[in-house]
Amino acid sequence: MAERSFKAEVEHLKLGEGETFTGEGILAITKALLESGVGYVGGYQGAPISHLMDVLADAEELMTDLGIRFEANANEAAAGAMLAASVHYPIRGAVTFKGAVGVNVASDSLANLASSGVTGGAMIIVGEDYGEGSSIMQERTHAFAMKSQFWLLDPRPNLPSIVKAVSDGFELSEASNSPVMLMVRIRACHVTGSFACRDNQRPKLTASEALSDPRSDFSRVVLPPMSYAHEQDKVNNRWPAAEKFVRERKLNEFFGPGDAPLGIVVQGGMYNGVIRALQRLGLADIYGETDVPLYVLNVTYPLISDEFLEFCAGKEHVLVVEEGQPEFIESQLGSFLYRAQSSVKLHGKDLFPMAGEYTGAVMLDAIEGFVRQSAPAMLPAAVRAPNVEKPETPDLSKTVPIRPPGFCTGCPERPIFAAMKLVEKELGKHQIAGDIGCHLFASLPPFEIGGATMGYGLGPAANGAFDGGGEKRPVAIIGDGGFWHSGLSSSFTNMAFNKSDGVAIVVDNFYSAATGGQDIMSSRADNATKLTKHPISKAIKGVGIDWVREVDRTYDVGRMRDTIREALTTPAKGPKVIVASSECMLNRQRREKPLRQKAIKDGRRVETPRFGVDEEICTGDHACMRLSGCPSLSLKKLDDPLRDDPVASIDQSCVGCGNCGEVADAAILCPSFYRADVISNPGKFEQWWAGKRAAVIGWLIRRRATRRLAFGAAS
């Protein structure tokens, strides 16, 4: 089950001509695909491009009725390869995955696709979550678009512009026989708005219909000498065709006055930030009417030389708003001016920071600096000569702690690393490689296990250099999502083939949990459209690894500890793999909580486990926190003047997983943890018995209170 369901919203995708669609950007993209007559869609569901794959999955029935093939691909490379259907056939296809990392995984298939060219429109929708909203390394897709000549669309972040970009993108792809990329940021995915609908279109040729009339053309195969001809075709035919289409269809936009001493060139996706900054400077209104000319690049590659030079005509200064580094756009525009022997002074990274997200404050400071430098008279008097100086922004980095990501309350991965800490205490520190996924949080306090990750599914492969028979065995962590993404082929076959003696722990939480809880091959759930329930251990043994241990309940910290110790100390040679399984607690809560609430509402008896800490027994050494780190486990200051140290305390966010108690038992900590079952809708006997217990406990408390010595004030 995915993190969020779009079943209700999918009904809006059926709207037609004359109706108005209102909703989020990701739904608008899906609607635009349906209106464009797309023949097949796919993508990697483990890529957090703000739920777009979840929308497509929930709309699968609608797409099937239209003759559209939908596939949840095993990884980005498989998604890119799916676009092969558009090479020979006039079928429009679209796939989606995360920007820089997804494009890198798919680079082989995408490079071949760009070389051979396409007949039908081919579109890759990439989630470019650059900046503080990103969960990956800070890179841009722009470099790949330039390298392989994918035309890169970056529409203004409003629904009409996004929908238009999808339609224009397919037509651009077909007009230039080249694939295109549509770049959407997180904010664009979730921006809300409206647009006028068109009717959904069945593909002119479906993928199933194409099978009855197979086509082939050896000139499209990427082999010498055809590949040499592909490069020439790119430069001599496809590129000019793309520039012509962009220019004639006016895909880029111009706003503001025709004559001004200065102008701003902006990526389409950064348009809202620029307008907001100009508004705060008194140079634009809330409707986007601006006193400063804007050249909005809804297509950031290829850049159109004569279009840009026309914009620069009559201007002395031009600012380029390009988020991220290197400054690809600014450098290209600078070369246009140089070749034209223009006197226009180009600004960009001299005013904007080279790296980092262009937040509202960054945008305002840079644009204000540009206008002050280039045409100060344009600024309103209040801005041009403020009465007071701007207060300095305080540096809070030394006083406000960072807030890195962490495991959820009740996460079944936490006890795995508690067990590893216990083994580390016995056997010493080991070389540990991580992987992409929730388990990477273990590199942070309180566990501090592992300190490097090389890519999704590459955890065990990252230990290849250390797997040479040293005194200690290297350990690698990999999740079930990473295992099925590429880990089986890239890491475990690598371990088997090279006769590794290392240890790999597969964290199996039943889903692609880090990206929303989508089903994968080893999920235990029934899935109407996907095949699940394939054991990871069976796949591992299938590639020739015999030493495989399964722990079917990770919360059993003692068993986890003993299994990890065995893997690290056994005299057996060869790869050793531990498959540690327990369901993702978030997904479990999403499934069980509504059922529990309904049962309570219906008056049925329901037991809900809760854990607590006995303040009288807790020693206050907090070892439980260092071995658990659960967000529900915190500190509590006692009123007892004889006890200075705070004790452990469990708050109401506890989900009753029992990890804290298991850790305390396995580590032989203080026995202060207790379990209490909260009973909703108890029976009559339970209510009577609870009353009797409360009366007895109350009597014991009062008796104890009377025996305490009391010291009054001296008279």
As a three-state string, the secondary structure of 512-566 is EHHHCCEECCCCCCCCCCCCCCCCHHHHHHHCCCCEEEEECCCCCHHHHHHHHHH
Token pair belonging to 631: 């967000």
CA–CA gap between residue 377 and residue 385 (Å, rounded): 11
CATH code for the domain defined by 414-587:
3.40.50.970
CA–CA gap between residue 707 and residue 118 (Å, rounded): 90
Same fold across 7-248 and 253-384: yes
Q: Which helix (H) or strand (E) holds 238?
A: none
Strand partners, 125: 96, 182
- Cis preceding linkage at 155, omega within 30: no
HEC assignment per residue over 24-67: EHHHHHHHHHHHCCCCEEEEECCCCCCCHHHHHHHCHHHHHHCC
Query: Sign of the CA dihedral 563, 567, 571, 574?
Result: positive
3-state DSSP call for residue 8? helix
The answer, yes or no, to whether residue 563 has pLDDT greater than 80, is yes
Strand partners, 699: none
Q: Nearest CA to 113 among 188, 37, 221, 272?
A: 221
Give the model's pLDDT for residue 715: 53
Per cent of the chain over pLDDT 90 is 44
Distances (CA, A) of 568 to 248, 502, 558: 66, 8, 16
Mean pLDDT of 202-215: 90
Pairing outcome for strands 647-650 and 294-297: unpaired
Q: Nearest CA to 151 among 230, 39, 80, 251?
A: 251
Q: If you count DSSP H runs as helices and E runs as strands, how many of each does the chain have, helices first? A: 28, 25
For 613-659, the pLDDT digits (tens) are 888 788 777 777 777 778 888 788 887 777 777 888 888 788 878 77
CATH code for the domain defined by 605-705:
3.30.70
Instruction: State which amino acid sits at residue 409.
Output: T
Alpha helices in 602-638 (DSSP H): 623-626
Break the chain into its structural domains and give their ranges.
Answer: 7-248, 253-384, 414-587, 605-705
What are residue 254's phi and psi, to 5 degrees?
-120, 135
Q: Which residue has the higher pLDDT, 645 or 582?
A: 582
CA–CA gap between residue 338 and residue 334 (Å, rounded): 6
For 222-231, the pLDDT digits (tens) are 878 988 899 9
- On the 0-12 / 13-18 / 19+ scale of CB atoms within 10 A, 303 is buried
CA–CA gap between residue 273 and residue 263 (Å, rounded): 16
Token pair belonging to 633: 């486990």
Q: Are 180 and 152 in contact (CB under 8 A)?
A: yes
Give the model's pLDDT for residue 639: 77
The answer, yes or no, to whether residue 433 has pLDDT greater than 70, is yes
Ramachandran quadrant class, 23 (left: phi over 0; alpha: psi -120 to 50; beta: rest): left
3-state DSSP call for residue 297? strand
CATH code for the domain defined by 253-384:
3.40.50.920
CA–CA gap between residue 159 and residue 189 (Å, rounded): 10
3-state DSSP call for residue 578? strand
CA–CA gap between residue 247 and residue 258 (Å, rounded): 18
The answer, yes or no, to whether residue 11 has pLDDT greater than 80, is yes
Q: Out of 296-305, 336-345, 669-678, 691-700, which region has the weakest mean confidence (pLDDT)?
A: 669-678
Q: Out of 343-347, 348-352, 397-401, which region has the weakest mean confidence (pLDDT)?
A: 397-401
DSSP class of 408:
P
The answer, yes or no, to whether residue 253 has pLDDT greater than 80, is yes
For 510-523, the pLDDT digits (tens) are 987 777 778 888 88
Distant-in-sequence, close-in-space partners of 63: CB < 8 Å, separation ≥ 6: 34, 41, 56, 69, 70
CA–CA gap between residue 484 and residue 599 (Å, rounded): 37
Q: Nearest CA to 43 among 154, 145, 234, 184?
A: 184
Token pair belonging to 173: 């792809």
Pairing outcome for strands 294-297 and 253-255: antiparallel
For 127-173, the pLDDT digits (tens) are 887 776 666 777 888 999 999 999 999 999 999 999 999 999 999 99
Other beta carbons within 10 angstroms of residue 238's beta carbon come to 21
Residue owning tokens 């980095």: 397
Q: Are 572 and 547 in contact (CB under 8 A)?
A: yes
Strand partners, 511: 519
Q: How many CA atoms lie within 13 A of 448 on its CB side?
A: 5
CATH code for the domain defined by 7-248:
3.40.50.970
pLDDT averaged over every residue in the chain:
87
Token pair belonging to 303: 């850049």
Give the model's pLDDT for residue 623: 76
For 547-562, the pLDDT digits (tens) are 999 999 998 888 999 9
When pLDDT is cut at 50, 70 and 90, the band that residue 95 belongs to is very high
The answer, yes or no, to whether residue 387 has pLDDT greater than 70, is no
Give the model's pLDDT for residue 624: 77
CA–CA gap between residue 557 and residue 667 (Å, rounded): 9
Token pair belonging to 150: 């994918």
Q: Nearest CA to 546 among 482, 496, 472?
A: 496
Give the model's pLDDT for residue 651: 80
Furthest C-alpha separation in the chain: 109
Q: Nearest CA to 480 among 432, 528, 532?
A: 532
CA–CA gap between residue 333 and residue 319 (Å, rounded): 11
CA–CA gap between residue 307 and residue 9 (Å, rounded): 40
CA–CA gap between residue 478 and residue 505 (Å, rounded): 6
Q: What is the pTM of this model?
A: 0.84
What is the length of the chain?
Answer: 715
Alpha helices in 202-327 (DSSP H): 207-210, 226-233, 239-248, 271-280, 305-312
Give the model's pLDDT for residue 710: 66
